[in-house]
Amino acid sequence: MGALLTLREDLRDLKPYVAGKLIPGLVKLSSNENPRGPSPKALEALAQAASELHLYPDGAATELRKTLAELYKLKPGNFLVGNGSDEVFTLLAGAFIRPGDHGLTAQETFSEYTFAVRLFGGVMDKVPLSQGFYDLDAIAAAIEPKTRIIFLCNPNNPTGTAFNQRQLEEFLGRVPPTVLVVLDEAYGHYAQMPDFPQSFSLLERWPNLVVSRTFSKIYGLASLRLGFIAASEAVIRDVSVVKQPFNVGNMTQKAGIAALHDLKFVNESLALNREGLEFWNQKLATRGLSPYPTQANFFCLEVGRDAQAVAAAMIEGGVTIRPLTSFGLPNAIRITTGTPEQNQLCWKALCHALDTIPTVR
């Protein structure tokens, strides 16, 4: 009897994704979800589409891509949709990464970029953040002949920090046209800075730019798993080669279309987030704490204590938050902005944790 198959040697040090904890009965502020729930229009669309469960979905997501094109003033051929942003990143790597090619990203950022590159035999190079921000100059300087794809998270997960239009354009001007730049704007809807990049308008000027967005955050559809990329039609054609034929279900497509049209829900969600961030900034200041300047629906806070211990103590207080040990920040936590009631409960739990857990020396 032969030996059992084993995991590829080059993947044996690859760690599984660590998700935010969901504990029944507790307030979950660990995964940056919309505390208002899903768009009511999306719920209505789901109900109407339920009678079509016996039919295969439109593999081309024709109506959804048409709606995205109208919203972002591009062509349907500029879009590809996926089973969440995670799948889209994997598709990009599958289309363009060959064994031995290199990817490039920040050290303290979303881990799925590394997963996607490594999955196809690539090597991921990483540049440390600079005071919580992407160091675009250092990333540009780290580009080498084997670099094939660069992942930028803006606003960054987990710090919430963002770079502006000028910084992005200067960076793109330093990237060879043979290197793909994937700009992950999962939290882009939440950005309040006036010079946040108008990334979709840059696609014609830089054919090697890909912009990624998700329906999991502002639209409240995390459980349906829906994301998309916008890019040149040539890039979309290439990525479509490695896409599964029915990767996004019919109900998900219909809910996504409805959510895109629900501007009232989006605006109310943005207002709630602004109020939540104001609450947290005021409360944290009373204890001399200052989070990283966030442009997202969460904030990152250095607590000077073991992050895992702080998270465990806050569970006792009825709230789950995200310790950032898996991001390489062992003394930092990430908290999603919630409803006023959730924020109050979380603040109480955080104060208790800070008062009872010793600081790290």
Residues sharing a CB contact under 8 Å with residue 343, sequence separation 6 or more, in sequence order: 276, 279, 280, 337
The per-residue pLDDT for 14 is: 85
The per-residue pLDDT for 56 is: 96
Percentage of the chain modeled with pLDDT above 70: 99
- Amino acid identity of residue 338, one-letter, is G
Shared domain for 101 and 88, answered yes or no, is: yes
Shared domain for 174 and 248, answered yes or no, is: yes
Q: Which of 334, 335, 337 is nearest to 273 (CA)?
A: 337
The per-residue pLDDT for 274 is: 98
φ/ψ of 216, rounded to 5, equals -80, -20
Q: Which of 204, 228, 261 is the last residue of a domain?
A: 261
Parent domain of 126: 40-261
Shared domain for 298 and 191, answered yes or no, is: no
Residue 252 lies in a domain: yes
The per-residue pLDDT for 2 is: 62
Burial readout 10-36 (b: 16 or more C-beta within 10 A, e: otherwise): eeeeeeeeeebeeeeebbbbbbbbbbb
Shared domain for 95 and 143, answered yes or no, is: yes
Residue 86 lies in a domain: yes
Q: Provide the CATH number for the domain around residue 288.
A: 3.90.1150.10
Shared domain for 45 and 28, answered yes or no, is: no
Q: Which of 225, 241, 261 is the last residue of a domain?
A: 261
- Amino acid identity of residue 280, one-letter, is W
Residue 79 lies in a domain: yes
Count how many residues are written for the chain: 361
Residue 10 lies in a domain: no
All residue ranges of the chain with pLDDT < 50 are none
Shared domain for 300 and 311, answered yes or no, is: yes
Shared domain for 188 and 253, answered yes or no, is: yes
